[in-house]
Amino acid sequence: GESVGLHLPTLSVQEGDNSIINCAYSNSASDYFIWYKQESGKGPQFIIDIRSNMDKRQGQRVTVLLNKTVKHLSLQIAATQPGDSAVYFCAENMDTGRRALTFGSGTRLQVQP
């Protein structure tokens, strides 16, 4: 999602529910996408990645879906836990020659116990 001013979009879920965080990316030529989790006061932590030749990739409790037609990326977290509370960023590699990531604006996930 997009941020408005200084406010991050926030997704609030109950513990045990599934979470879906969405991201619209910029460049149809981007070949690689990553989801990062960032807890307060820490650096971004790698969660899962996906290449542009794939539509879906699963990890432990997480699934990333890529829809290249509408340039949309989503992160699904199964059985969300309080420890999942953080800001989640999607990132894309817009230029394969640069090896540099461009980040989306981020979504705050709040898990209610």
Partner 1 sequence: DTEVTQTPKHLVMGMTNKKSLKCEQHMGHRAMYWYKQKAKKPPELMFVYSYEKLSINESVPSRFSPECPNSSLLNLHLHALQPEDSALYLCASTGVSSTDTQYFGPGTRLTVL
Q: Interface residues with partner 1 (CB under 8 A)?
A: 3, 6-8, 31-32, 34, 36, 41-46, 49, 51, 89, 91, 93, 96-106
- The smaller minimum CB distance to partner 1, of residues 50 and 111, is found at 50
Q: Do 90 and 75 contact (CB within 8 A), yes or no? A: yes
Q: Is the dihedral of CA 10, 20, 71, 47 positive or negative?
A: positive
- The smaller minimum CB distance to partner 1, of residues 16 and 93, is found at 93
- The one-letter amino acid code at 103 reads F
Query: At its nearest, how many Å lie between partner 1 and the CB of residue 68?
Result: 16
